[in-house]
Amino acid sequence: MTDLEYLPSPSERSRNQVAEYEASGGARANTLPGTDMPVVIVTMRGVKSGKLRKVPLMRVEHDGAYLAVASKGGAPKHPEWYHNLVADPWAMVQDGPTPIETRARILTGDERAEWWDRAVAAYPPYADYQEKTDREIPVFLLEPVE
């Protein structure tokens, strides 16, 4: 999958953060801009383009698995990357210098509630985002492939 062409984000902020993060092996551009809250870079296959897409997401990690919270700041629609992971659960998570291969799955029920609490602990605005929107914010668990 990593032999696919990379299509940078249309968002200049995301594009620049990904480039700086990767160029430094995660030593720079590793927080949400203007904060000390850590991010990871998630790489996935674009459902429309078929190319690699990369997005910085808040770092929510537990026992080697990561959470991808499709909040889009509480907007009424899911972020574009949500559709990528629904179509193809393969993803790479870079948390520092070395990316790891993962499989994504949407969480439900008690498992979602447990991870949602971790997400809000890592990034408290997620609770406000959920209040802003009528949709339940989807959360994907990105589990390492062994």
User: What integer is the mean pLDDT of 106-116?
Assistant: 98
Q: Is residue 4 part of a domain?
A: no
User: What integer is the mean pLDDT of 67-91?
Assistant: 97
Q: Is residue 6 part of a domain?
A: no
Q: Is residue 39 part of a domain?
A: yes
pLDDT band at 1 (very low <50, low <70, confident <90, very high): low
Q: Is residue 80 part of a domain?
A: yes
List the domain range (segments joined by +) for residue 69: 12-144
Question: What are 51-69's pLDDT values in tens digits?
Answer: 999 999 999 999 999 999 9
**What CATH number is attached to the domain comprising 52?**
2.30.110.10
Q: Is residue 20 part of a domain?
A: yes
- CA 53/CA 47 separation, integer angstroms: 10
Q: Is residue 87 part of a domain?
A: yes
- CA 41/CA 95 separation, integer angstroms: 7
CA distances from 41 to 87, 98, 146 (A): 19, 11, 20
C-alpha 3: how far from chain center = 21
User: What integer is the mean pLDDT of 41-56?
Assistant: 97
In terms of Cβ atoms closer than 10 Å to its own Cβ (0-12, 13-18, 19+), residue 74 is middle
User: What integer is the mean pLDDT of 102-118?
Assistant: 98
Confidence (pLDDT) at 3: 83
pTM value? 0.96
- CA 95/CA 25 separation, integer angstroms: 9
Q: Is residue 106 part of a domain?
A: yes
The tally of domains found in the chain comes to 1
Q: Is residue 7 part of a domain?
A: no
- CA 74/CA 99 separation, integer angstroms: 28
- CA 120/CA 49 separation, integer angstroms: 32
90, 100 in Cβ contact below 8 A? no
User: What integer is the mean pLDDT of 115-128?
Assistant: 98
Looking at the chain, list the stretches that DSSP marks H as alpha helix, in order from N- to C-terminal side.
12-23, 80-87, 109-122, 125-132
